[in-house]
Structure 1
Amino acid sequence: MDDFTGAAQVAQLRRTVTRKGRRTVEIVCLITSADARTAPPELLAAWVQSHWEIENRLHWVRDVPFDEDRSQVRTGNAPQVMGGLRNIAITLLRLQGHQNSAAALRHHARGTDRPVNLFLSA
C-alpha cells in the first residue's frame, strides 16, 4: 500500500458486459480513501454508476459523434475553446429535445439555417 498513501479500502467490482452479442465478465479494482463504514458496497456501486453516467452523457458524445479524438487542434487555447464549443452544441441539442447526438448533428448538417436557428432559439 506504499504506492497508495491514504488508501483505506480496496474493493473488487465484477460486471457483465455484452459487446457484439458476446458476454464477458470484467473485474475492476477500486481504491478509495473512504473506509468501509463511510463507503459501504452500495455507495461504492453508486459512485461507479455515476462515473459511467458522466462518461456516457458527455465524454462519449464528444469522442464519437464529434470525433474529438482525431481533432488536429492542439496548440494554445484552441483545444479548450473547441471543447467548450462542443459542450455548448451538445447542450443546445439536448435543450431542443434531441436524445441522439449523432442523428441531431446529421439533421442540422442538412440545412444551413438549422444550426443558426438552434443557437438563436436557446
Structure 2
Amino acid sequence: MSSIGYERKTITRTGADGTVREERYFLCSIKPNAELFSIAARRHWNIENNLHWALDIVFREDKLRSKEKNGIHNLGLSRRFVLFIIKLLKAYYHRGMKRIRSKIGRNLESEIPVILAVLKVLYDNDMMDAIDELAK
C-alpha cells in the first residue's frame, strides 16, 4: 500500500431521490498523486459499469454459487467471450443484450450462421478497430 485515496461525488437523480452524495476511501498501490488517483478511480468504475454490470444483467453472475476455482475461471472466460459476441450482435438485432442472449439461447442452431456472418463482415471490412472498442 502506497497511498489512501478519497473520492466524493454528487449524483443528481430525477424523481424523488434528488441529490445523493457518496464518499469512498481507496487503499492504493499507486504513488500519492491526485491526478493519477482520479484516473485510476474512473477506470475502476468504468470497468465495473461496463463489464461486471453487463455480466450480472445478462448472465446473473452475482447469483452463481460455484466453489470450484477452475470451473469459475473457465465459466468467466466463456461468459466474457459470449458477452463480446452479444455486443457485436447489438447492431444487427437492435435489441438489448439480455434479449439477444435469450434469442440465441432458444435457437442456437439457426443463430450460428448469423453470428458467423456478422463476424465475417467485420473481418472482411477491416473493422478490427471497432472490435477493439467493443472489447474495452
TM-score in terms of structure 1 length: 0.69
Partner of 1:29: 25
Q: Secondary structure at the match of 1:74?
A: coil
Residues 32, 83 of structure 1: CA spacing in aligned structure 2 closer, same or farther, 3 A cutoff?
Answer: closer
- Structure 2: any 5+ residue segments left out of the alignment? 120-136
Figure out how many residues of one structure are paired with residues of the other and give that number.
112
Partner of 1:62: 55
Give the conservation status (yes or no) of the 8 Å contact 1:92–1:118: no
Deviates more, 1:13-22 or 1:88-97: 13-22
The CA distance in 2 between the partners of 1:10 and 1:72, in whole Å, is 32
Moved runs in structure 1, 4+ residues, more than 6 A? none
Partner of 1:95: 88
Deviation string 1:45-77 (CA, Å, 9 cap, x unpaired) is 111111111111211111222011222543363
RMSD, aligned CA: 2.8
More helix by share: 2
Residue 81 of structure 1, aligned match among 56, 71, 74 = 74
TM-score in terms of structure 2 length: 0.64
Residues 10, 70 of structure 1: CA spacing in aligned structure 2 closer, same or farther, 3 A cutoff?
Answer: closer
Deviates more, 1:20-29 or 1:45-54: 20-29
The CA distance in 2 between the partners of 1:34 and 1:76, in whole Å, is 29
Q: Does 1:50 align with 2:46?
A: no
Q: Does 1:106 align with 2:102?
A: yes
- Structure 1: any 5+ residue segments left out of the alignment? 1-5
The CA distance in 2 between the partners of 1:34 and 1:54, in whole Å, is 18
